[in-house]
Amino acid sequence: MLSLARKLWTEATSGAPSAGRSGPASVPRGMRVYAVGDIHGRLDLLDQMLGQILRDADQAPNLLKYLVFLGDYVDRGPDSRLVIERLACGLPPSLGAVFLRGNHEDTMLGFLSDLRVAPGWLTYGGDATLASYGIPAPDPEGPVEHLQQAQRMLNGLLPAHHRAFLAALRNHLTIGDYHFVHAGVRPGIPLDQQQDHDRLWIREAFLTSRVDHGKLVVHGHTIAPEPVLLPNRIGIDTGAYATNRLTALVLEGTDRRFLCTV
């Protein structure tokens, strides 16, 4: 069974991005994919979603099931440290998991070595991440010595396996006719030639585009009250940290559906 799972996974993820699709997007036969949107420090919602996914997966025991997390695990919500711990060490062994990098993880890693990112990171949620590690958040505009102290404390208190988890995050993933990425892609550029900055940060140029990207792009990063389902992209960031609504996209064959915590 394990060798079959590896074979299907390799076949599903090894195809080069296509110039266009001829028919409905699909994932390979025998596989179900769960893509989970931005968590932002909400361990309670992550655990609820994992429970839903496990119950859903139990209804299809003969399928191979994979989890794809779209990034932004940290910041804003109260439990960034515990979210990383759960993702790094506490996921069900029956589900293969792939973790993508979000702009918030990228900035958190940057803070460990570069104080220039500190004001921005602290302003858009890094203060909550520091608090989850027991570190008082300094004033983003305060003395540099306070920022340096917070940096030293996070470097000292960040467990080695948390650092390894963050460093190993992927910037994109393709499965069948779907391309998974945190923020989006730059229209008109082949998927395998995209810049990582765009994959983590892009908004308007991607969100307003209606061109075919070669694969159907599944992303988070930009909040909407409901999942966004368009011919060229599917957005599943429903603002969980503020709305209590964490969303997952379920893909099987050409079918699509959603799981939500509320």
Does the residue 20 lie in any domain? no
Helix (H) or strand (E) holding 173: strand 173-175
Q: Flag whether pLDDT at 36 surpasses 80.
A: yes
Q: Please compute the mean of the pLDDT values over residues 53-81 and round it to a whole number.
A: 97
In a domain, 23, yes or no: no
| Stated pTM of the model | 0.93
At residue 12, the pLDDT reads 58
In a domain, 14, yes or no: no
Of residues 157 and 262, more confidently modeled: 157
Q: Report which residue type is found at 254.
A: T
* Predicted confidence (pLDDT) at residue 161 exceeds the cutoff of 90: yes
87 falls within a domain: yes
Q: Give me the pLDDT at residue 1, please.
A: 46
Q: Rounded mean pLDDT of 215-242?
A: 98
Residues 2-25 pLDDT 10s: 444 555 455 556 544 444 556 899
Dihedral sign of CA atoms 24, 66, 201, 18 in order: negative
Residue 25 lies in a domain: no
User: Would you state the pLDDT for residue 54?
Assistant: 97
The two structure tokens encoding residue 166: 């963050």
For residue 216 the two structure tokens come to 């159907």
- State CA 73 to chain mean position distance: 7
CA angle centred on 205, ends 201 and 206, rounded to 5°: 70
Domain count within the chain: 1
Q: Judge whether 10 lies within some domain.
A: no
Per-residue confidence (pLDDT) for residue 17, from 0 to 100? 43
What confidence score (pLDDT) does residue 23 get?
81
pLDDT digits (tens, 9 = 90+) for 190-221: 999 999 999 999 999 999 999 999 999 999 99
Domain that holds residue 195: 30-260
* Residue 4, domain member (yes or no): no
16 located within any domain = no
Q: Quote the percentage of the chain above a pLDDT of 70.
A: 92
Find the CATH number of the domain harbouring 161: 3.60.21.10
pLDDT of residue 80: 98
CB-neighbour burial class of residue 140 (10 A; exposed 0-12, middle 13-18, buried 19+) = middle
